[in-house]
Amino acid sequence: MKIRPSLRIAAAAAASLLSISAMAADKATDAANAKVTDKAVVSAAFKSVFYLPVYFAEEHGYFKDEGLDVRIDVASSSTNALAAVISRSADFSLHGPEWTAISFGRGAPVKVVGGTLNRLGVWLTCKPAFAFDGFKSLKGATIATGAMPTTSSSAFIKLVKNAGLDPKRDVNLLEVPLGNEIGPLSSGQADCAVLYEPGASQAQAQGFKVVSAFSREIGPYTFSAISTRQDIAPQVSQKFVSGIDRALKAIRTDPAAAVASGLKLFPNLDPAVVRASVQRLIDDGVFADSVAVPEQALKDALQTQIDLGNLDRIPTDGKWLDLGYADSIAGKAY
């Protein structure tokens, strides 16, 4: 069979277009890689939806756009994450700022350079039939909470006191190991539970109702911050902080992309729970608007840790905070 000249020309043209497209893609990749001039390792306290911004930034190439090649490690605790920075096996860590304040007070050369969560990511979830009408309505109720000392339980006790109740006499606190708060709710031992995410969304998927977001009850609160060493190269710090800032703003403007990133990060969780969890952190303002750390939000977070006994006092030496660059890009649009 003879192939007509017109078909040969069309086939050649198609092959040429494919080749050009491939070359363009290769050049784009080469250009992106050429911009990378620095490397950094970030240690997250846990693989958690709360740390989605760093994974989102990496997935969408925001660090590479800044000229930074980033590797993300998971430390299994806040103290381990910061220890990795101190020992130089990591350059940045993500966790509550209180751990940086504690280590700085003990002589460690560390500092906070920005924030990622500026609201408290804790929710009160109750039985469907429980008539919740503010924290005063919890009088006589049994509440499952994480064993003290923990931020979620401390914040709950503060809200109970603000409602005029005595947490020792007016409510029955059922303390359980952190992460197991849903158990008493599911078994009928508790009327409500104080939960982090994805616990709140998992409870909701089981038919329980989320009745209060602590982010709305308490207001600004530095729940997670970016920490690093005092001697970090300024350009490396700024590149990393910029990547996180861009991710925080993108998450708020494109929630669907944030949910998609969460689904990739947690493929073994129920997709409905992941969607609800990410959306809740956006809707309730837990993900920060930018990397800037409001002064009062930081003070309130540190005072909570003082009340818990985790922190002796707020450091008076200003070297533990280096927030100038984060503040300067707070209003930046990408």
Do residue 207 and residue 62 come from a single domain? Answer: no
Mean pLDDT of 98-123: 96
Mean pLDDT of 215-241: 97
Task: Give the DSSP letter string of 187-234.
Answer: HTS-SEEEE-TTHHHHHHHTT-EEEEEHHHHH-EEEEEEEEEETT--H
CATH number at residue 171: 3.40.190.10
- Answer with the one of 170, 186, 213 that is the final residue of a domain: 213
CA dist 114 and 297 (Å) reads 12
Do residue 116 and residue 132 come from a single domain? Answer: no
Q: What is the mean pLDDT of the chain?
A: 91
Structure tokens at 84: 């990795």
Task: Return the SS3 of 163.
Answer: coil
Q: 254-283: per-residue pLDDT in tens?
A: 999 999 999 999 999 999 999 999 999 999
pLDDT in the model for residue 76: 86
pLDDT in the model for residue 308: 80
Mean pLDDT of 222-242: 97
Percent of residues, the chain, with pLDDT higher than 70: 90
Do residue 115 and residue 242 come from a single domain? Answer: yes
Mean pLDDT of 58-75: 97
Identify the burial level of 331 via C-beta atoms within 10 angstroms of its C-beta, where 0-12 means exposed, 13-18 middle and 19 or more buried: exposed
Q: Is the pLDDT of residue 22 over 70?
A: no
Do residue 293 and residue 256 come from a single domain? Answer: yes
CA dist 55 and 283 (Å) reads 19
CA dist 194 and 296 (Å) reads 24
CA dist 16 and 131 (Å) reads 68
CA dist 203 and 82 (Å) reads 31
pLDDT in the model for residue 149: 80
Do residue 86 and residue 139 come from a single domain? Answer: no
Task: Give the DSSP letter string of 66-106.
Answer: HTEEEEEEE-SSHHHHHHHHHTTS-SEEEE-HHHHHHHHHT
Strands in 172-176's sheet, in edge-to-edge order, are 172-176, 142-146, 192-195, 123-126, 209-213
| Count of structural domains, the chain | 2
Residue 250 within a domain? yes
pLDDT in the model for residue 183: 96
Do residue 39 and residue 71 come from a single domain? Answer: yes
Domain containing residue 66:
33-120+219-328
Residue 3 within a domain? no
Q: 281-299: per-residue pLDDT in tens?
A: 999 999 999 999 999 999 9
Residue 47 within a domain? yes
Residue 7 within a domain? no
Do residue 41 and residue 76 come from a single domain? Answer: yes
Q: Which residues contact 57 (CB under 8 A, 6 or more apart)?
A: 63, 70, 243, 244, 246, 247
Do residue 228 and residue 95 come from a single domain? Answer: yes
Do residue 107 and residue 198 come from a single domain? Answer: no
- Answer with the one of 173, 192, 213 that is the final residue of a domain: 213
pLDDT in the model for residue 330: 97
Q: 43-55: per-residue pLDDT in tens?
A: 999 999 999 999 9
The pLDDT confidence band at residue 117, using thresholds 50, 70 and 90, is very high
- Beta-carbon count within 10 A of 256 CB: 10
Mean pLDDT of 58-70: 98
Sign of the dihedral defined by the CA atoms of residues 294, 298, 303, 305, in that order = positive
Do residue 133 and residue 148 come from a single domain? Answer: yes
The pLDDT confidence band at residue 178, using thresholds 50, 70 and 90, is confident
Mean pLDDT of 193-204: 97
Residue 137 within a domain? yes
CA dist 31 and 160 (Å) reads 56
Looking at residue 110, its amino acid is V
pLDDT in the model for residue 29: 47
Do residue 112 and residue 231 come from a single domain? Answer: yes
Q: Which residues contact 174 (CB under 8 A, 6 or more apart)?
A: 142, 143, 144, 145, 184, 189, 190
Closest alpha carbon to 63 in 252, 259, 237 = 237
Residue 25 within a domain? no
